[in-house]
Amino acid sequence: MERHIPDPGFAGDDGRADPAVRSALALPTDDPASYGAALLALQDARLLVPVVAVLGEVEVDEHGLAHDKTSDMAAVLMTGADGRRALLAFTGSDSLADWDAEARPVPVPTRLAAQSAVQDGAAALVVDIAGPATTVVEGDDLTRLAAGWRVVRLQDGRGGQGDQLGWIGPAAE
């Protein structure tokens, strides 16, 4: 019997970060133009969403010692001091290992990571929390990425590319 394993879309991916994405994320995100450049780079990027083992049930043996009975794998949501939750994602296996060497990477397109964050009730997607540069996507930007909207450079009115960025919604089906 032949089995077919679906292609996750990242054949040949060795876990290394895309240098162009890392460069865009290294720009200061408090500057709107730099943050826009980060969104432009992220929207087509492969991210690594970490999954970790989470204890399900514990059983106690006849000697009173606790043992794992079941465990599950779960994506990591971080809760900030303000109570908001964020899904963690990483641009490369090096930055994931810097955060937690035991976490297992699941490669996904940024849109899918954003969708997971929204579905899990997270307020943000935090990329590369352990560095080399951390970027936070939240609010309307997170919602739009999750919905398949695209960040685009707007023309300057003279036929050239301008410095302004905008969002284009997905085509109606």
Residue with tokens 């994320």: 25
pLDDT at 1: 62
| CATH class of domain segment(s) 19-54+70-153 | alpha beta
Report which secondary-structure segment, H or E, holds 146: helix 139-146
Task: Tell me, rounded to whole angstroms, the distance of Cα 98 from its chain centroid.
Answer: 16
Q: How far is CA 8 from CA 46, 107, 144, in A?
A: 11, 8, 23
Q: Tokens representing 91?
A: 């641009």
pLDDT at 87: 96
DSSP characters for 90-132? BSSHHHHHHH-TT-EEEEEEHHHHHHHHHHTT-SEEEE-TTSS
Q: Mind listing the pLDDT tens digit of every residue in the chain (173 residues)? A: 666 566 667 778 899 999 999 999 999 878 888 899 999 999 999 999 998 776 666 677 788 777 666 556 678 899 999 999 999 999 999 999 999 998 899 999 999 999 999 999 999 999 999 999 999 999 999 999 999 999 998 877 666 666 788 899 987 76
